[in-house]
Amino acid sequence: MSTSDIHTPVLLERCIELLAPALAHPGAVVVDATEGMGGHSEALLERFDGVRLIGLDRDTDALRLAGERLARFGDRVTLVHTVYDGIAEAVAGAGAPQVDGILFDLGVSSLQLDEADRGFAYSQDAPLDMRMDQTQGITAAEVVATYGEGDLRRIFERYGEEKLAGRYARAILAARAFAPIERSGQLVDVLVAATPVAVQREGRGHPAKRVFQALRIEVNAELAVLERALPAAMGLLRLGGRIAVMSYQSLEDRLVKREFAAAAASTAPAGLPVELPEHTPRFRLLTKGAELASEAERARNPRATPVRLRAAERIAEAV
């Protein structure tokens, strides 16, 4: 089975439309900061004959599959094993001082969700790993085994926006006192048992959904990485360059919204009669708020349901 059979890129046509004006000239460079299985990259390389692509991913399995998918494009493609907050170093290492387009498709990938042994999905029993880069870092099982009640509650509240964070943290500590929680199925059982029947009847989703999201974000330091990656990426764009970011949960989207809004705002003090060059906005927003997938796309590809897309264009050089 090919990667195109198991991976449907989200908002593909809209992303291409937003990036197209920056990629129309020969020699344009585009960065896919979250390469995944290469669906967006493949489309960009097909649509723009003169484009060179630099693809980044922390997941070695994803890079291998993307490399197979994009092999026909030869030296137009450079793939780099790195977390996307290493974008500046990766681009410099690929010999591109500036770039014309950047795409982020955040969150967990189709590959990571569909491979049961990665432990990302609460619907499949597997070792509690959740590392996007399985060559390094702490696993979700280690977080569950070693974090105290306060730290577990903190990450469930902050990264999962879970109302029962304290209750779930206490339940985990009680359960692990009897036996290690090493598999996703074990953790799901603990969470379900700790959830009041009335809450389960409310229809707020599976009891494990928010806890699993919180653990994944903690294990992969996703918000901290994104907070570093966005300004680094925007600083790489040449005049007229464009960036598009797809987020799948509110915490990511708030970070993107904040970074884009700051870059698109004048920094001139109130009452200044003339806006000096150093106060001019560096970017303009290309989307009105966050764009959503159409009903047709959500029906065709359920993973597009939570997506929020924002894009911006560099309109001034940094002073």
Gap between the Cα atoms of 164 and 30, Å rounded: 42
Show the DSSP H helices in the chain as ranges.
3-6, 12-23, 39-47, 60-70, 87-93, 110-114, 140-146, 149-160, 165-176, 184-194, 197-200, 209-220, 222-236, 250-263, 295-300
Between CA 164 and CA 149 the distance in angstroms is: 13
Q: Is 98 annotated as a binding residue?
A: no
Q: Is 92 exposed, middle or buried (0-12, 13-18, 19+ CB in 10 A)?
A: exposed
| Pairing mode, strands 237-247 and 308-314 | antiparallel
Nearest alpha carbon to residue 175 among 158, 160, 188, 157: 188
State how far the Cα of 197 lies from the Cα of 279, in Å rounded to an integer: 56
84 is in an annotated binding site: yes
Q: Which residues contact 197 (CB under 8 A, 6 or more apart)?
A: none
Amino acid letter for position 127: P
Residue 57 labelled as part of a binding site:
yes
Compute the half-sphere exposure of residue 152: CA atoms within 13 Å on the CB side of its CA. Answer: 24
Task: Render 272-306 in DSSP notation, one character per residue.
Answer: -SS--GGGS-SEEESSSS-B---HHHHHH-GGGTT
- Return d(Cα 88, Cα 44) in angstroms, integer: 21
Indicate the annotated binding residues for S-adenosyl-L-methionine. Answer: 38-40, 57, 84, 105, 112
Indicate the annotated binding residues. Answer: 38-40, 57, 84, 105, 112
